[in-house]
Amino acid sequence: MSPTAAGRSWRCLRCGLFISGEPSLTGPASGAPHVRRDRELRGVLILRFFAVERMARAVVVGGAALAIWRFRHSGATIEQAFDRELPRLRPFFRQLGYDLDHSRLVDPIRHAFTLKPATLGWIAAGLTAYTVIVVVEAVGLWLAKRWGEYFAMVATSAGLPLEIYELAHKITYLRAGAFLLNVALVVYLVYAKRLFGVRGGGTAYEARLRSESIIGAELNALAAAAAPAGGAAGRDRTGTSNLAGGSDRAGAAHADMFGGEAASGAASREASREASGADVAAPAGLTEATNSSAAE
C-alpha cells in the first residue's frame, strides 16, 4: 500500500495499477496469493481451451462405450428395432438427399450386429479406458498443473502414430482436424511450457514466472538495492580494520624507534663514564711522576 493525495492506495497484483481504498486482503508479501498475469494468464486460457476439447471428446467416447456395453446384452432386441424403424426413416432421409442404404453411419451399425458379445465387451472396455485417460488430461490442463501438462503431452504423443496410420488409410475432415489439434497441443506444451528440459526446462520456466510477478519484481528490486549497501558496509569495516592494523604497526615501529634511542643513549652514557674515568686517572699518574722528581 502507498499513501497518495486521494488517501491510501493498494496495487493490483494482476494489472499493476494503484487503486484507492482498502484492499480486500492484507498481509506480508511472502503470504500473498499467486496471481497469474501476462503470458502465464494467456497460457492458462490456451490450456483450458484444450481441456474443454478433451472433455467433449470424453463425453462422446464415454457415451459410445456405455451404448456398446448396453447393446452387448440386448443386441437382438436393438437389431429388431433397427430393422423395424429403418424402412420408416428411408423416405424422410431420401427427401433430404441422403441414402440410408449406403450411408457411412448405417453400415458400421449393421456390422456391429454381427459381433460377438465378448468382442463388444472388449471394445467397450477399451473406449472406457480411453475416456478415463482423456478425463485426466482435461483435469490436469484445466488446473494448469505441471503433471497435467506432462501427462497430456505423453498421452497425446502416444496416439499420434495411430492417427497418422488412419490418415494414410483414408483422409477425412474429422481425422485431419483431430490430428492437427493434437499436434498443436504437443508442440505448445513442449515449447511454451518447456517440458523435458527444452529452453531451460522447469527452472527457466519458473524464473520467467517470478520475473512477471509484481511482488517478485519488487522483492528482487529490494534485494538488489540492499546488496550495494551491504557491500559498502563491508568495505567500511575492512577499511577500519586495516586502519587499526596500520596504527598498531606504526605504534610498534614507534616503540622500536624509541627503544633504539634509549639503548643508544645508555651506550653513550656508559662510554662517557669510561672516558671520564680515563681522564681522571691520567692526572693522578702525572702527579705521582711529579712528586717522584721532586724527591730526587
**Which residue ranges in the chain fall short of pLDDT 50?**
240-241, 243-296
Q: Please tell me the distance from the alpha carbon of residue 29 to that of residue 32, in angstroms, as a whole number.
A: 5
131's CB contacts (< 8 A; 6+ apart) are: 58, 61, 62, 65
Query: In the prediction, which pLDDT does 3 show?
Result: 63
Question: Cell triple for residue 162?
Answer: 495411430
Q: What is the pLDDT of residues 86-131, one digit of tens each?
A: 777 778 777 777 777 666 667 777 777 778 888 888 999 999 999 9
Where do the DSSP E strands lie in the chain? 2-4, 7-11, 18-20
Count of other CB atoms within 10 angstroms of residue 164: 12
Q: Please tell me the distance from the alpha carbon of residue 163 to that of residue 161, in angstroms, as a whole number.
A: 5
Query: In the prediction, which pLDDT does 268 show?
Result: 43
Alpha-carbon dihedral sign for residues 68, 73, 75, 78: negative
10's CB contacts (< 8 A; 6+ apart) are: 1, 2, 18, 19, 21, 22, 23
Q: What is the pLDDT of residues 119-132, one digit of tens each?
A: 888 999 999 999 99
Closest by Cα among 28, 51, 15, 43 to 208: 43
Closest by Cα among 205, 159, 166, 148 to 183: 159
